[in-house]
Structure 1
């Protein structure tokens, strides 16, 4: 335990830790945004003033405060203020389809929503009660009633996660669980008042809880960006360096791209950075070892679920040479993790379903007793009254050294860029389209972190030969995925789409997803490369040939043509980062190329002409 928290009893509420640091280190930085630093004293005064305004609007104990904000520092301030008022908070993620956004606002039932006038945060439906987050300069905080505010059993926040019906499930986390998680991760990572955690995650993703509360529980600082736009690896590196950040958390796919960029530019991690947390997907052992050999910043492989207050286990250290998986590690102090089969706790070496118990568990799901009972079960192995365990649906086994290894799912859930998704939700939306008769969704066999859809066309004339697949054209894909894009977040929309004559079955009569994945993985290999016309006057240095080659390599699509759209053929934001990074290496004219240029010029020809005009 660090000195700033030494001697304190276990916290029943995160605000106990916060108040301790406000008293002990009032002038220390708490929330950093560029050159502007809010000290613990300043942040506390602002949070108290906002809490008073929330209370005046009716947001007290038992209420929910909604956050529709696009500026991370505002969002953290709103979280603190809601907790100080005795309320819970929920976050409305930007970029959600309008129907889903309105549904979440209605279901959250917030007394008031915090927003910033003129900001670019998630728009709120008409008639939603709202309060401007920026108020008058705070006066010295007046004494306010605290009775009932700091109760470990009160709700701290609601975050929405994927659901089997396609409707996100609202996960209810209590204040005691939040405090216990913040303390457990603070202790495990040995966070101190000198630590600075760089905030990267989407504000609607539960990783933001991990980026904020443990480091503040240690008396350290949250480094807030002035916006929530994705950072390219170069921008991330510069921001980490300039802010002297000591800790950052990245999705597995984003971390891969950052590592590629470091290798391509012969750089290493900034000197102040001591830990890079990585989670969301299985890690490649070779990539893990390569990082350890070249980077001073330690890797920390984390595993957890929204229902268990973010992270339950973590792994760091030297990976054994014979390891064929990167473990997800050992449990934090607030989580009891077991591997079970048919209700029986298994010894090390046996594979079963991962269960998480202990004080980290959520109360359950918002207005969904059926799903709560299905996942949060009475624990026959714990004699404590009311003891429960959460059945994760993840498969794993313990190694002899006590580390846990993740081995995939035992149900239809998929893991997409750190989000859990029920495949049937996407399949039903695809089958709602007029052009599609049947649909199966699987993790992309090329990158393992986006979705591929195999579709049986409603029109028999579009069906390819049996045992083969054929990519949809750009317009066909847009029509096919339209119902998904209207109902689900962007990351749930399949990036690659293929026509199939029929869905293959295994001997048990179930759809053979392995056979479909094998067909999709080889689809590009069988296609002949599209012809490239002779270089034009705008392509005298062969830019089109180079750009087209990189498009084909990154998308694993040898038949891609010069006028094919990057995003209509499987491209997404992380692959766009990789494409731009590689083009910067290939072409001097691409030295200043940004990912934003690809959104405006998504075909090889358009991008090559853009580069030729900037030589």
Structure 2
């Protein structure tokens, strides 16, 4: 789980030292400070240091493409950026801002004052998180101190988080749900555990859960499923007492083996809420998840000081059972979008149900209805926003980027379900010339995270239109997601290649995979990659790291690597046997 540790006293002193440095460099009330740093103690010191200086932290995942990272920094008009010794290499516009390098040693803080600074006020911004934007660029959503404090106080009270709890962080620190898990445990003296891993790795995570006796985990469902499905020993999860899942619908059937296990004694919680409203707006506790294996899991009811409304198109309250748009009010409602007053006015409207001056409602774009028991049932989206593995994606952002490509005349991106119920992105393109799929993917990879790159591409002569001249998305061909391969098909040539191909086919749900097809271009991602690695470890009884799959991403390359590793293992085994016989 990593070798770096920090006591509360050290965290207090180190974050104060950083705050003094930030103050000296001009950070004051509501100064935006991007923090692009790898997960670790430096990240936590950095966030607290920014808050103590009165600033607003802007968490940026260093795994994002450099183009996206630099856009966020530019959009935040930052004069100072906190970066790690690796992530600083992605800051290509470094001449326009100062870089404060902060690594795990925290050496840059030595000699600074540890005295407390002046406090902040509840109506100040605490952080800005960037989410996918339909205009082609991500948009920054601001959250107030009063909002995050309200969430944290509810969080530790509702789930009885105590000093004895150990909370593991496996999500990106740029993800909204991560904030309460970084900060909430600090209110009660609990321990924050951050696994030391470059990629999502179920073995590292489960080992960390076991060795650190982790009691609480909060992540997207698709980040939790592999911990159960690929577990060597489900007893590794026995210390968990609380699993909070959010960001997408939960399919409890995928956790059935764990839930019915002898050592299972855990509560699962369904949480709901957008970034614009401080992560969680409603929750539903399942004390006995067995009862929900084949039942719809409600969104639940609002947490403390948060109100939920289901309104019609005229913004009138709807009775129980009728579908409408979900609106959120109360202390969780954020400030709006950074430097986008038009969109803020559109999505954040005056609250007609509140007597509080200046109170607002947030229009979520989500559809739902009240149930007789006082919970809300989620019924989908009103627009093109989708969730892929818990990440919120505006399809329009991808479409706008594709339209900027000089060879693409028209572009539409849709989310389609594969045979396992997982959503995958499909890109439909119109071009007057032949397109190179790999070049299009490379173009997007420089601009958006991997989860925003379509797995399948469909080239068309023209798009079907509705009577009013708009693209008829429902009439676009429903391509078979089991035939994603775009390269000339070359079948596996030997037993190792065939065994790897079978693993890929089972996990990617693709029937026809050639030896030169890239796992990631076929729709593979870090979560699926870990499942591939686990399956190969079992199939060939060998050690394989997730980084190996990133390096050898085709069956041709991976099979050669596996063959070399197996031969080395055989030679070492023979040598050991020979030595033993001669003792």
Is the TM value for this pair above 0.5? yes
Distance across 2 between alignment mates of 1:275 and 1:124: 41
More displaced 10-residue stretch of structure 1: 398-407 or 314-323: 314-323
Q: State the shift of 1:498 in Å.
A: 2.4
Tell me, in whole angstroms, the C-alpha distance in 2 between the residues paired with 1:118 and 1:445: 37
Verify the 8 A CA contact 2:200 2:530 in the aligned structure 1. Answer: no
Distance in 2, Cα, partners of 1:285 & 1:115: 39
Shift, 1:151, TM fit: 0.7
Instruction: Say whether the 8 Å CA contact 1:91–1:203 is kept in structure 2.
Output: yes
Which whole-Å deviations, capped at 9, do the CAs of 1:75-98 have from their partners, x for residues lacking one? 111111122122221123213333
Provide the residue aligned with 1:279 in structure 2.
Answer: 246
- Residue 325 of structure 1 aligns with which residue? 296
- 2:49 aligned residue (68, 77, 81): 81
Distance verdict in 2 for CA 1:523–1:223, change over 3 Å: closer
CA distance in 1, matches of 2:402, 2:352: 41
Match of 2:217 in 1: 248
Are 1:603 and 2:554 an aligned pair? yes
Question: Post-superposition shift, 1:371?
Answer: 0.7
Output the CA distance in 2 between the equivalents of 1:36 and 1:534.
47
CA distance in 2, matches of 1:508, 1:324: 40
Change (3 A) 1:260 1:172: same
What is the alpha-carbon distance in structure 2 between the residues aligned to residue 438 and residue 373 of structure 1?
A: 30
Match of 2:500 among 537, 544, 547: 547
Which of 307, 310, 321 lines up with 1:339 in the alignment?
310
User: Does 2:77 align with 1:109?
Assistant: yes
Q: Is the 8 A contact 1:72 1:203 kept in 2?
A: no
Q: Summarize the Cα distance change of 1:353–1:481 in structure 2 as closer, same or farther, 3 Å threshold.
A: same
- Residues 68, 121 of structure 1: 8 Å contact kept: no
Match of 2:322 among 333, 344, 350: 350
**For the residues of structure 2 that align with 1:482 and 1:35, how far apart are their CA atoms?**
36
Candidates 194, 198, 215, aligned match of 2:185: 215
> Following the alignment from structure 1 to structure 2, what is the Cα–Cα distance between the partners of residues 291 and 399?
29
Post-superposition offset of 1:407: 1.9
Query: How far off is 1:322 after superposition?
Result: 8.6
Note the C-alpha offset of 1:34.
3.9
Q: 1:614 to 1:483 in 2, by over 3 A?
A: closer
User: How far apart are the structure 2 equivalents of 1:350 and 1:285?
Assistant: 27
8 A contact 1:441–1:452 mirrored in 2? yes
Change (3 A) 1:387 1:608: same
Could you say if the C-alpha distance between residues 518 and 288 of structure 1 is closer, same or farther in structure 2, counting changes exceeding 3 Å? farther
Is 1:174 the counterpart of 2:144? The answer is yes
Is 1:239 the equivalent of 2:208? yes
Match of 2:571? none
Please state if 1:126 is matched with 2:94: yes
CA distance in 2, matches of 1:212, 1:76: 7
Tell me which residue corresponds to 1:469: none
Q: What is the DSSP-based 3-state SS (H/G/I as helix, E as strand, rest coil) of the residue aligned with 2:392?
A: strand
Match of 1:267 in 2: 234
Cα 1:143–1:503 shift into 2, 3 Å:
closer
Secondary structure class of the residue paired with 1:498: strand
Q: TM-score, normalised by structure 1?
A: 0.83
Structure 2: distance between partners of 1:411 and 1:490: 22
CA offset digits 1:91-111 (Å, max 9, x no partner): 232133333322221221334
8 Å contact kept, 1:376–1:388: yes
> How many angstroms does 1:595 deviate by?
2.1
> Secondary structure of 1:371's match?
helix
* Post-superposition offset of 1:337: 1.3
| RMSD of aligned alpha carbons | 2.8
Alpha-carbon contact 1:46-1:77 (below 8 Å) kept: yes
> Which structure 1 residue ranges, 5 or more long, are not aligned?
1-32, 463-474, 536-541
- TM-fit CA distance, 1:409: 0.9
Structure 1 partner of 2:169: 199
Q: Quick one: distance in 2 between partners of 1:304 and 1:79?
A: 22
TM-score (norm. length: structure 2): 0.87
Question: Retained in 1: the 8 A contact 2:228–2:255?
Answer: no
Distance 1:368 1:436 in 2: 28
Deviation at residue 366 of structure 1 after TM alignment: 1.0
> Judging changes above 3 Å, is the alpha-carbon distance between structure 1 residues 136 and 284 closer, same or farther for their aligned structure 2 residues?
closer
Counterparts of 1:275 and 1:489 in 2: how far apart (Å)? 30
- TM-fit CA distance, 1:141: 3.0
Q: Per the alignment, in what secondary structure is the counterpart of residue 346 of structure 1?
A: coil
CA distance in 1, matches of 2:440, 2:510: 20
Give the equivalent residue in structure 2 for 1:185: 155
**2:576 is matched with which residue?**
none
Quote the residue 1:492 is aligned against: 452
Rounded to whole Å, the distance in 2 between the matches of 1:213 and 1:322 is: 32
Distance 1:507 1:575 in 2: 41
The equivalent residue for 2:580 is: none
Contact 1:253 1:449 in 2 (8 A): no
After superposition, what is the alpha-carbon deviation per residue over 1:531-564, rounded to whole angstroms, capped at 9, x for unaligned?
63653xxxxxx21211122222322222221222
Give the superposition deviation at 1:36. Answer: 4.4
Q: Which runs of 5+ in 2 are unaligned?
A: 567-583
Change over 3 Å in CA distance of 1:65–1:430 after alignment to 2: closer
Matched, 1:372 2:344: yes
In 1: Cα distance, 2:482 partner to 2:553 partner: 24
In 2, distance between residues paired with 1:568 and 1:118? 26
Q: CA deviation at 1:490?
A: 2.4
Determine which of 89, 96, 101 is the counterpart of 2:64: 96
Is 1:360 aligned to 2:332, yes or no? Answer: yes
Stretch moving more, 408-417 or 369-378: 408-417
Q: Aligned partners of 2:38, 2:328: CA distance in 1, in Å?
A: 33
Instruction: Tell me whether 1:52 sits opposite 2:23 in the alignment.
Output: no
**Deviation per residue, 1:437-486 (Å, 9 max, x gap):** 33221123215344221223434xx7xxxxxxxxxxxx822222344333
